[in-house]
Every structure is written in C-alpha cells, then in structure tokens.
C-alpha cells in the first residue's frame, strides 16, 4: 500500500524554496535511508533542468521527480515534500508545484506498481486538495487513506 512506502520519515514540509532545493529536500530521506545515492538526485536535477524537463510536472501543482534506476536507485521508495508556496519547476512560471514527490524504483515492475498506487491517489481531486493543504503528517495520512 502507498502508506507503507510513503512513511512519516519520508514526508516533509517547507515554506518557501527554489525548485532545486525542493527536489533535494524531498529526496533527503531517501538518501538518508539508503534507497538512493547522491548521483540519483543529481540526475533528477539535470533531467528537470534539461529542455523538456518540466514533463515531471503532472499538473494540479504536483511534480513527480525521478530518474532511471541505473542512475542510483538501491531500493524502491517514495518521498513527498509539501510546500506552502509553490515552486516554478525548471524556473518555468507555467509549472508551479506545491507537492514534490520523489520516486525511486529498482525496475520497471516496481515503477509501474508504485505509479499505479500514486495515480489512484492523485486522480482523486479531494485527496489532491487535502495533500496540498496538509501541514502535518496526520493530514497527509488522512489524504492518503482513500488510496488504500
């Protein structure tokens, strides 16, 4: 289940930051627990900064930061940063995101499974709104609950 992967230690909150800092902060728990290596986060930043990198903006103020498994994934994992003020992904004002997920998958099967769970959550407009407004772990948990 999504709440088994997106644990409290992988959920963070911030007020104001840049998109680079947001991705780095969102990925920090995955670095700390050994799910990813530093080069994975660097690859994500490079991918976003590259032309067309805003494809990681899913719409609705949600970014899904990720890179290929061989860039430094050691375990399938998911982390979330909830921002009080949106960041312009790749400094593009058309891509304002206040939820930054970092997805790490060891292979295609793990990627599809985690994406399916995340999609179930994010297609729910009420859950998206609750996530965007969340200011505590308990509020994030309540938003995630419908995805079970």
At 28-86, the pLDDT tens digits run 999 999 999 999 999 999 999 999 999 999 999 999 999 999 999 999 999 999 999 99
Q: What is the pLDDT of residue 146?
A: 53
DSSP state letters, 27-50: HHHHHHTTSB-HHHHHHHHHHHHS
The domains located in the chain, with CATH, are 2-147 (3.40.930.10)
Q: Is 137 a catalytic residue?
A: no
Distance CA 9, CA 6 (A): 8
**pTM of the model as a whole:** 0.94
Distance CA 17, CA 73 (A): 25
Tally DSSP H helices, then E strands, for the chain: 6, 5
- The closest alpha carbon to 41, from 67, 62, 22, belongs to 67
At 109-118, the pLDDT tens digits run 877 888 888 9
């Amino acid at each position: 289940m999504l709440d088994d992967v997106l644990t409290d230690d992988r959920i963070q909150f911030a007020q104001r930051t840049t998109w680079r800092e947001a991705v780095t902060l969102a990925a920090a728990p995955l670095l700390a627990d050994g799910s990813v290596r530093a080069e994975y986060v660097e690859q994500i930043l490079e991918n976003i900064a590259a032309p067309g990198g805003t494809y990681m903006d899913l719409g609705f103020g949600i970014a899904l930061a990720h890179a290929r498994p061989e860039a430094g994934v050691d375990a399938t994992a998911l982390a979330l940063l909830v921002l009080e003020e949106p960041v312009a992904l790749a400094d593009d004002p058309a891509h304002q995101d206040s939820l930054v997920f970092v997805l790490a998958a060891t292979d295609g099967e793990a990627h599809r499974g985690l994406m399916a769970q995340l999609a179930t959550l994010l297609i729910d407009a009420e859950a998206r709104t609750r996530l965007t407004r969340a200011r505590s772990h308990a509020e994030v948990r309540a938003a995630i609950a419908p995805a079970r």
